[in-house]
Amino acid sequence: MKLKLRLGILVVLLFGTAARATILDDLGVTLFRAVTTNLDGRGIAVAQPEASLSTDLQTWQVNPTTTSHPATIFTYASTNGSTNVFPNNIGKESSHADGVGQNLYGIPNGIATNLLRVDNSEADYFINTYVLSTLPPPAIGDPIVNQSFSFGPLSVSDQQQADSGYDDYAAQYRTLFVSAVNNYGQSAVVCAPGTAYNSIGVGAVYPVSYNNSIGPTPDNGRCKPDLSGRWGDTSTAAAQVSGAAAVLMQAALRGDGGSDTNSAFDLRTIKALLMNGAVKPADWTNSTASPLDMRYGAGVFNLFNSYEQLIGGKRSYIVSTTASSGGAHPPNGATGTVAVLSGWDLNTSSSSVLNDGINHYYFNVTNGAGTAKLTATLVWNRQQNQSAINNLNLFLYNVANSNLVICSTSAVDNVEHLYVTNLPAGRYDLQVWKAGGFGTVSSSETYALAWNFALPPTIAPVLTMAKSGPNAVLSWPILPNGFVVQSTANLNPPAAWSTDAIPAVIYTNQQNYIMLNPTNAGQFFRLVWP
């Protein structure tokens, strides 16, 4: 199968240093760096296959100097050979590859600025050698593969063949493929390789609306993209997500998520954490049968939010039960409680011919007079050499009355996603359900689950104002996180509080700062928990 590769990079190459810094603020990277130490991707290797921007198919290489890295961390490979020297005679510099590198690992405005190695290769060579090889494919040796290109519109059979190649490779070698789903205007629908089950398909938000092709997938109506980056096109966004994945993998290996570093490092865990930490655009929407927004996926990733859930640690379910296949599965009265309201698990769900399997995670949500927000994401892989997936669902029950609060029950996706606002205090049963009966792929399935019950802080941070030259500066502590600044021109009821025209937040020395330009008009400000 010969695949035509598509990419777009015009926007990423127009971003200056100040714009990139603002993007890092939006993605939670600046805040993440303010509260962590030496989490910059060190020890993690990333593969970067690149398609050519021109008719000269040799134009695919990263110039190390454009990313402020030494040539010693790069390898280059194509059908013309391999080398660790730049420049070389097996390929030429690509502005697209340079732009991707700047956003993924470039200094100072990449996300993973201290990678162990970058394996840069020509895309057709990479795909035919590793993904679609007719021979047993060799191991890449990199836990993350960034793919800032798409194949463009394909027939359903060709899309399925491409997806299967990527899914099989990911399942066999535990490789996380982070892939663009195609730019808006280049096709009406999301495209491979971003459509693969086991990948993270990435869209782009620029500046407030989506800038990518939209789901569902042409083959069977799955939700893609899984996640979005901020600004730019899907080439930029995929690079941002790859950088975030590398940083989380480094944190996992050094034990930030607990002693079970293998579980924390698993591609399913990383995918679940990235999706569950995402921030929803104002017009984000989903449904019971379609767990993600067809434009934004789970939303715009936020590295700080995902890291906060990682450090909550691995927490197992309280009890596992069974129910007659297709039957009811209300809370079972177990008394145990998951110890943290923000955390993750990598576990196994089992079923049989006669029974569905249910793993119960019980939470006590005590939030005073306020209400909580729940985000929960369930991820599992399509298994190697399988055309179908096991059917897993996600349910949230109120234990007090056994009422179902919300569920995610897609029959075709290998992700489920819950987002609930205004959740009252109480005891809740978050259930991972696996279908039994005939026709399942296997009797058990390994899954990753990430959750966050976001509670309103008991003590709100204090918003202060001070003069700085001709300007005024608003400031408040970084933690507790989640507060936003609103302003209004007057306090006469009903006051029109809004976040419009609020300058970007700067994070320094554990404080949030907003610089306000002088104006003759009166203005009032407040901190709110959205």
| Residues forming a β-bridge with 449 | 345, 378
Q: What is the pLDDT of residue 496?
A: 83
Q: What is the pLDDT of residue 368?
A: 67
Average pLDDT, the chain: 91
For residue 244, which phi and psi values (nearest 5 degrees)? Answer: -65, -40
Instruction: Identify the band that residue 192 occupies on the pLDDT scale cut at 50, 70 and 90.
Output: very high
Return the closest-CA partner of residue 108 out of 45, 205, 11, 29: 29
Residue 13: DSSP 8-state: G
Q: What is the pLDDT of residue 17?
A: 44
On the question of pLDDT at 461 being above 70, the answer is yes
Return the closest-CA partner of residue 255 out of 246, 267, 265: 265
Instruction: Identify the band that residue 3 occupies on the pLDDT scale cut at 50, 70 and 90.
Output: low
64 near 72, Cβ under 8 Å? no
- Higher-pLDDT residue of 50, 53: 50
| 176-180 and 144-147 strand pairing | parallel
Q: What is the pLDDT of residue 504?
A: 77
Q: What is the pLDDT of residue 480?
A: 65
What average pLDDT does the segment 383-387 reach?
97
H or E element: which one contains 398?
A: strand 392-398
Tens-place pLDDT, residues 223-232: 999 999 988 8
Instruction: Identify the band that residue 7 occupies on the pLDDT scale cut at 50, 70 and 90.
Output: very low
Report helix, strand or coil for 219.
Answer: coil
Tens-place pLDDT, residues 259-284: 999 999 999 999 999 999 999 988 99
On the question of pLDDT at 9 being above 50, the answer is no
Report helix, strand or coil for 276.
Answer: helix
d(CA 301, CA 325): 36
Q: What is the pLDDT of residue 369?
A: 63
Q: Is 220 exposed, middle or buried (0-12, 13-18, 19+ CB in 10 A)?
A: exposed
d(CA 293, CA 279): 12
259 near 38, Cβ under 8 Å? no
390 near 441, Cβ under 8 Å? yes
Tens-place pLDDT, residues 352-379: 999 999 999 999 999 766 788 999 999 9
Query: Any idea which residue has 């089992």 for tokens?
Result: 350
On the question of pLDDT at 479 being above 90, the answer is no
Q: What is the pLDDT of residue 357?
A: 98
Instruction: Identify the band that residue 459 occupies on the pLDDT scale cut at 50, 70 and 90.
Output: low
What average pLDDT does the segment 422-430 reach?
95
On the question of pLDDT at 11 being above 80, the answer is no
Q: What is the pLDDT of residue 510?
A: 65
On the question of pLDDT at 76 being above 70, the answer is yes
CA 166 to centroid of chain Cα atoms: 18
What average pLDDT does the segment 327-333 reach?
96
Tally of CB atoms within 10 A around 157: 10
124, 268, 322, 363, 385 from 274: Cα distances, Å:
28, 10, 30, 22, 26
| 392-398 and 403-408 strand pairing | antiparallel
d(CA 167, CA 194): 11
Tens-place pLDDT, residues 17-35: 444 667 888 899 988 998 8
Which of 245-249, 424-428, 505-509 is predicted with the least confidence, judged by mean pLDDT? 505-509
Q: What is the pLDDT of residue 18?
A: 42
- Higher-pLDDT residue of 457, 12: 457
On the question of pLDDT at 482 being above 80, the answer is no
Which of 86-90, 136-140, 200-204, 268-272 is predicted with the least confidence, judged by mean pLDDT? 136-140
Two tokens, residue 508:
């320094």
What average pLDDT does the segment 224-243 reach?
94
Q: What is the pLDDT of residue 500?
A: 78
| 471-477 and 511-516 strand pairing | antiparallel
What average pLDDT does the segment 167-193 reach?
94
Report helix, strand or coil for 102.
Answer: helix
Q: What is the pLDDT of residue 419?
A: 97
